[in-house]
Amino acid sequence: MALEVWNRILDIDSTNVFSLYSLAFYYINITDFKRAEIFINKAIMYYNDTYQYSISINNMDKFGFHNLFFNNITNAELVFLRGIVNYEFEKFREAFVDFKYCIENNYNVGASHHWLAYIYYCFNDIDKACLELEYAMKNGFSEAKELKDSICK
């Protein structure tokens, strides 16, 4: 049902960043990275710092609501999703830049360090991977412990 809603919103406003972001997030969760890439790239293209959105949808009774109000999303949120997509397509350099951007902009810092650890690990740079896992854990990303325990001595 959510997929129908986001697509309906895009029928009304094809530049709605929140809907594009939501669809990219949805496709990442079902590991359809090709579609996720399309939506995240569009979201980044239409994003600007002053983008404010609240959308009113009429005649949406079958979805059980009439009005949607969305919070702003940041460019860092978009870049984080793009980093995941870039990683999955083995575009490690681009993913690295995306996750560094997120860290510099204080967005999802722990998870960004965790992704950087995976990138270093892909290049057999275990020392840097372990360092990034330490940073991930220090920034509250407890899931990094499992990988750290398995690859770091």
Residue 77 has what pLDDT? 92
Q: Measured between alpha carbons, how far is 101 from 114 in angstroms, rounded to an integer?
A: 14
Mean pLDDT of 18-25: 91
User: Strand 54-56 relative to strand 67-69: parallel, antiparallel, unpaired?
Assistant: antiparallel
Residue 13 has what pLDDT? 85
> How much of the chain exceeds pLDDT 70, in percent?
84
Q: Tell me: the pLDDT tens digits for 28-67?
A: 999 999 999 999 999 999 887 544 444 444 444 444 444 4
Q: Measured between alpha carbons, how far is 138 from 144 in angstroms, rounded to an integer?
A: 10
84 has pLDDT over 70: yes
Paired with 27 in beta bridges are: none
Is 1.10.3470 the CATH classification of the domain at 1-73?
no
8 Å CB contact between 117 and 147: yes
Q: Where are the domains of the chain?
A: 1-73, 74-153
* Count of other CB atoms within 10 angstroms of residue 59: 7
Average pLDDT, the chain: 86
For 74-153, the fitting CATH number among 3.20.20.60, 3.40.30.10, 1.25.40.80, 1.25.40.10 is 1.25.40.10
110 has pLDDT over 60: yes
Paired with 26 in beta bridges are: none
Mean pLDDT of 70-76: 75
Residue type at position 121? Y
